[in-house]
Structures are given as C-alpha cells and as structure tokens.
Structure 1
C-alpha cells in the first residue's frame, strides 16, 4: 500500500509531466478541490480547472513535501507561458490511495495581469 505522500508525488509527477490522464487516476471521482477561484466538486470539474493550467506549464520544481497517515503537502515553483515564476502549495487528503480533498494555494494576480496585458 502506498502512503499519501507517494500518491500525491505520483500525481504531481504526472500532471507536471503533461500526462493529465495519468494524473486523474490518483483522484477520487468525488474529489473536492478548494482553489482561489472557488470550490470544485467532482473529477470532471477538477479536470476542467487544472488541465488547462498543465497545458501552459513549461516546468515545475518541487521545493518541499511532507506527508502523514492521511495528508500530504507539496510546495512547488512553476514556470508557465504567461507567468515565468508562479509558486504554489497544495494540501491533499488521501483515502484508499485516492486524493479526496485538495486545497490549492497560489497567487492569481500575475495570471490576471498577464491576461490583461494580452488584451491591451
């Protein structure tokens, strides 16, 4: 049996490696995601939110990770097409080898500024 941290690291490696189908195998169908944009419920809603971000990802660097019997925390840096330095943090709750709850923390402002600059 894998630990929550092993599950979350495999998920992170999949989505940052541009294999979102593989990343989805680590998520429960009824996942709840708490993101700066609001609460998302279910795997389809999560995919609609996260997969577009994975497509603009140029690289990701895992900065720190921690896990216990039910949770895992990741802190990472990303570089994307519109924003060269976008740090993020995630708190995952894992049950039976699947991520059931995910809290994502990142600064939306640089992405909003990049979108505004494209529209001017």
Structure 2
C-alpha cells in the first residue's frame, strides 16, 4: 500500500477536525507538532489538540477557497463559518514529515471570531 502524500494527510486532517472528529484529526498530527497561530505558539500534540478542539465545536460550516501543494508543503485557504462570521478567511500552511503534520502556520483574524459587539 502506498503512503499518503502530504496533500492527502492534510486533507484527511482538515476534513476530520472540521467535522468535529478531533481524535481522527490528531491521528494525522506528529507528537511534536509546532504551530504558529495569532497570538500564540503551540508546541506538542496535546496543546495543539486543546487549541483545535476548543474551536471545532463553534463551526457551523466550511467554505473552501483554494488549495496548493508542492509535496511536503500544503496551503489551505478557507472560510471557517461560525455564529459570529461566515466570511472571514483563514489560511494554513502545513509541513508534512514521515506521513504526519509536523508544522503549521495558521493565519486568521481572531477578533472576527469573538462574540458580536453589543451596540
């Protein structure tokens, strides 16, 4: 059986976490993953699981924008839809090593996902 490409690994991970299956998503993540996200650097699978697991329940949908892969590197651009926003884009740049996501750079506007302002 052939090993999944970096693109395959990332797509399986992305589909799992955006469907709320954090356990399946973490099966595609390296134990020593590093992630740079707005306002925080995450190190290790447990910390990363907590971060993703805290956001996933807020999702009401996902709108895909674009994807790019050059083998070990995969970029996803999409709209994580929540009660607060459906049009705020997010971008992730992944590095896959030995069949697992080893690094992630996540870019999104944190303020757009907060509670709506009271006027």
User: Structure 1-normalised TM-score?
Assistant: 0.90
Output the CA distance in 2 between the equivalents of 1:11 and 1:60.
14
Deviation at 1:84, TM superposition (A): 3.1
1:58 corresponds in structure 2 to 60
Q: How does 1:3-82 map to 2 (within 5 A)?
A: 3-82=5-84
Output the CA distance in 1 between the equivalents of 2:94 and 2:18.
16
Structure 2: gaps (5+ residues) = none
Q: How many residues get paired? A: 117
CA contact (8 A) 2:7 2:74 kept: yes
Misfit runs of 4+, over 6 Å: none
Output the CA distance in 1 between the equivalents of 2:18 and 2:73.
20
Task: Show CA shifts across 1:40-90 (max 9, x none).
Answer: 000111111111110100001221111112110000012112333331000
Q: Which structure's residues are more often helix, by fraction?
A: 1
Q: CA RMSD in A?
A: 1.6
